[in-house]
């Protein structure tokens, strides 16, 4: 398949170019596009054969449901049959932004989108290009991250192209994703708001609106979030999540092949490469997936990466890093 690449400035999106990508979505094709979290791989959520192409392009297991993206809050009614008042408050407070809300689904939503579940996950991105693409497509867009299944999500157009050239009709190059980690997923179908996947919006942020919110899914072992049982975010290199960077030298000693360290503000380590994750956790989140992929490009075979504490966006970084490391740390945590 020949993939068209459209370069669009997110500060002044070119309407004609976005319209080209929107016509691909309306025609049942696949468009990869930037969002504030990571690049997404989109299709018309109400066109089952278009959505099936997403699973083929990514090599994604069919039992891993997709998030449907909307451009106006009112569109949530096309997808959800029941909207609890607390969920509406979350939409008002956090949309557009990196929060995905799970609701009971309308029967019109194709089973392929929800992987056969009775629920649907919905998000309204804040990114100008994503917003305009959804608006012009005139339909919710089902979109997982635009990577081959199992690889770190792409946060730059180059990494999106590395995985998706030749597999999709169009890729929009709209610059780097500012947040760099996938959205928070909160389940609003039960008695208590439950975070199934941590992200930039924390359980505490949600509780400030709803009164209470708990972490669930993988932390409780419940099978509510099917995607979480799959290996995610793994570069080819081995990854160790390091909670005490004083252990780095010992872990690097005797390592075979090229070694790398990822740490805040870089640092002085006896590794072949030291990648600077930035000065704070927000920059670390924005750079983590980029750096995991960069290490592969640089031929690294062992990556030691700082495992931050669980405060704020630290919980989301920990979640992705521990998955990338397959649970391997410098000590039990
Ligand atoms: P991705 O878009 O690739 O970041 O993956 C979406 C994540 O949301 C996966 O972990 C899915 O398992 C999860 N998800 C999407 N829809 C639902 C749903 N209806 N119920 C539970 N989890 C969902
Ligand atoms: Mg993904």
Secondary structure (DSSP) of 107-141: TTS-HHHHTT-SEEEEE----HHHHHHHHHHTS-E
Q: What is the pLDDT of residue 172?
A: 98
- Ligand closest to 144 (CA) is 1
pLDDT for 220 beyond 60: no
- Is 224's pLDDT higher than 90? no
Across residues 121-150, what is the average pLDDT?
97
Q: For residue 65, which of 144, 139, 130, 141 has the smallest C-alpha distance?
A: 144
Has residue 120 got a pLDDT over 50? yes
Cα 137 from chain centroid (whole Å): 22
Pocket flag, ligand 1, residue 120 (CB < 6 Å): yes
All residues at 6 or more sequence positions from 81 whose CB lies less than 8 Å from its CB, including other chains: 103, 104, 105, 106, 107
Mutate to test the pocket of ligand 1, among 55, 59, 66 (most ligand atoms within 8 A of CB): 66
Is the pLDDT score of 225 beyond 60?
no
CA of 93 to the centre of ligand 2 (A): 25
Residue 217's φ and ψ, nearest 5 degrees, are 60, -120
pTM for the model stands at: 0.95
Name which residue sits closest to atom 22 of ligand 1, judged by CA.
225
Quick one: pLDDT band at residue 233, thresholds 50, 70, 90? confident
Residue 279 has pLDDT above 80, yes or no: yes
Give the mean model confidence (pLDDT) for residues 230-251. Answer: 90
Q: Are 242 and 248 in contact (CB under 8 A)?
A: yes
pLDDT score of 302 more than 50? yes
> What is the percent of the chain with per-residue pLDDT over 90, rounded to a whole number?
92
pLDDT mean across residues, the chain: 95
List the residue whose alpha carbon is closest to atom 2 of ligand 1.
Answer: 144
pLDDT of residue 234: 86
The pLDDT of residue 229: 59
Distance 64 CA to ligand 1 centre (A): 6
The alpha carbon of 114 and the centre of ligand 1 are apart by a number of angstroms equal to: 8
Cβ of 188 below 6 Å from ligand 1: no
- pLDDT for the residue numbered 252: 97
Angle of CA points 2, 44, 78, to nearest 5°:
170
The encoded tokens of residue 34 equal 């930037």
In this prediction, residue 222 has a pLDDT band, given cuts at 50, 70 and 90, of very low
Q: How close is the Cα of 63 to the center of ligand 2, in Å?
A: 13
Mutate-to-test residue for ligand 1 from 101, 130, 227, highest number of ligand atoms within 8 A of CB: 227
pLDDT at 223: 40
Q: pLDDT tens digits for 54-95?
A: 999 999 999 999 999 999 999 999 999 999 999 999 999 999
- Ligand 1 centre to CA of 197 (Å) is 9
Rounded to whole angstroms, the Cα distance separating 87 from 101 reads 7
Of the candidates 142, 141, 133, 145, which has an alpha carbon nearest to the alpha carbon of residue 183? 145
pLDDT of 140 reads 98
Distances (CA, A) of 4 to 53, 142, 144, 164, 172: 17, 20, 20, 11, 8
Q: Which residues surround ligand 2, an ion (CB under 5 A)?
A: 144-145
Looking at the CA of 112, name the nearest ligand: 1
Ordered structural domains, the chain, with CATH:
4-215 (3.90.870.10), 238-324 (3.40.50.11030)
């Amino acid at each position: 398949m020949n993939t068209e690449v459209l370069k669009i400035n997110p500060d002044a999106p070119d309407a004609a170019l976005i319209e080209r990508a929107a016509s691909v979505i309306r025609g049942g094709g696949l468009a990869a596009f930037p969002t504030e979290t990571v690049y997404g791989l989109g299709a018309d959520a109400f066109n089952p054969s278009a959505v099936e192409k997403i699973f083929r392009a990514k090599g994604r297991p069919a039992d891993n449901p997709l998030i449907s993206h909307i451009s106006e809050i009112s569109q949530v009614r096309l997808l959800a049959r029941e909207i609890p008042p607390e969920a509406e408050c979350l939409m008002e407070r956090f949309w557009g932004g990196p929060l995905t809300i799970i609701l009971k689904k309308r029967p019109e939503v194709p089973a392929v989108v929800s992987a056969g579940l009775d629920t649907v996950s919905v998000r309204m991105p804040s990114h100008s290009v994503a917003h305009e693409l959804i608006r012009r497509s005139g339909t919710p867009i089902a979109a997982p991250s635009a990577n081959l299944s199992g690889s770190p999500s792409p946060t730059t157009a180059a990494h999106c192209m590395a995985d998706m050239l030749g597999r999709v009709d169009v890729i929009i190059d709209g610059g780097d994703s500012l947040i760099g980690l996938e959205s928070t997923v909160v389940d609003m179908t039960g008695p208590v708001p439950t975070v199934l996947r941590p992200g930039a919006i924390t359980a505490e942020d949600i509780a400030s609106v709803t009164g209470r919110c708990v972490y669930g899914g993988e932390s409780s072992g419940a099978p509510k979030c099917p995607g979480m049982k799959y290996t995610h975010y793994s570069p080819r290199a081995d990854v160790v999540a390091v909670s005490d960077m004083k252990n780095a030298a010992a872990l690097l000693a005797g390592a075979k092949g090229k070694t790398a360290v990822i740490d805040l503000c870089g640092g002085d380590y006896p590794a072949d490469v030291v990648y600077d994750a930035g000065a704070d956790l927000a920059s670390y989140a924005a750079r983590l997936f980029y750096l995991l992929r960069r290490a592969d490009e640089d031929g690294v075979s062992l990556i030691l990466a700082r495992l931050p504490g669980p405060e704020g966006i630290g919980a989301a970084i920990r979640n992705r890093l521990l998955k990338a490391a397959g649970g391997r740390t410098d000590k039990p945590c």
